[in-house]
Amino acid sequence: MSAAWRVGVDPRRCIGTGICAGTAPEHFQLVGGLSTPLADVVEPADPVIDAADSCPVEAITVRDAADDRLIAPEG
C-alpha cells in the first residue's frame, strides 16, 4: 500500500451532496456548497476511499502520491 495519497475534488463536477463530509468528516468539508479536502496529501485511510466511491458524480479522486496511480474511485 502507498505511504501517502493525494486527494482532489473537481469543483466543476461536485454537486455538494455532502456524502463525502458525512463519510469522512476528518478529510472533507463543504465550503460554499462544494466539497473541499482538508488536506491535499493524506495517510491512507478507508474513509477516504469510501468517500470517493460514494460520490454520485465521481468528483473525488484519490491517487498515489508517489506515482499518481488512481486508487479511487474504482472504475
The domains found in the chain, sorted by start residue, are 5-62 (3.30.70.20)
The pLDDT value given to residue 65:
97
Block mean pLDDT (10 aa), the chain, length 75: 91 97 97 97 97 97 96 87
The pLDDT value given to residue 2:
76
Strand 70-72 versus strand 34-37 pairing type: unpaired
The answer, as to whether pTM is greater than 0.75, is yes
The pLDDT value given to residue 13:
97
Are the CB atoms for 28 and 36 separated by under 8 Å? Answer: yes
Task: Determine whether 37 is exposed, middle or buried from the number of CB atoms within 10 Å of its CB (0-12, 13-18, 19+).
Answer: buried
The pLDDT value given to residue 15:
98
The pLDDT value given to residue 74:
82
Strand 70-72 versus strand 60-64 pairing type: antiparallel
